[in-house]
Amino acid sequence: MADAKNKFDYTKLNTLAVVSLASAITLFGAPAAVLTGHIALAQLKDDNKKGRWMALTGLIVGYVGIGLAILFTVIGIIIRAKHGVGFDDGNQWQQNMFGDHNRFDDGGFQPPTNPGGPMVPVPGTN
């Protein structure tokens, strides 16, 4: 059996620090991770609970997630501005990607014609 001294006391853990870490791991909850991380650090100053490392990790990962979201949004805006593609002009996107030949509207796959015949001679024909 486990020693009573070696057991971790989960009641001494700050709940918002755990929420901050869990929200940050998803990266979709980055704003919630930052908010709960700051509140948890303020609470940890006053009470005698544990979880400072969870709150700090939640804050760091949350801020990194927010920064990456902003970075990718700016990159997307720059790419759209450079290539002149908006949200409502899908045909323009196809023309930019594939040139004048629109692969999506030509009636399906059409194999190329080869007027010269097969490239490899068939045995027994000559």
**Average pLDDT over every residue of 64-90:** 82
Residue 105 Cα to chain centre, angstroms: 32
Query: Residue written as tokens 């979880």?
Result: 51
Tokens of 41: 């650090």
**Does residue 30 have a pLDDT over 80?**
yes
User: What's this model's pTM, rounded to 2 decimal places?
Assistant: 0.60
Q: Which residue has the higher pLDDT, 3 or 67?
A: 67
Task: Provide the pLDDT confidence category of residue 11 given band limits of 50, 70 and 90.
Answer: confident
User: Which tokens belong to 1?
Assistant: 């059996």
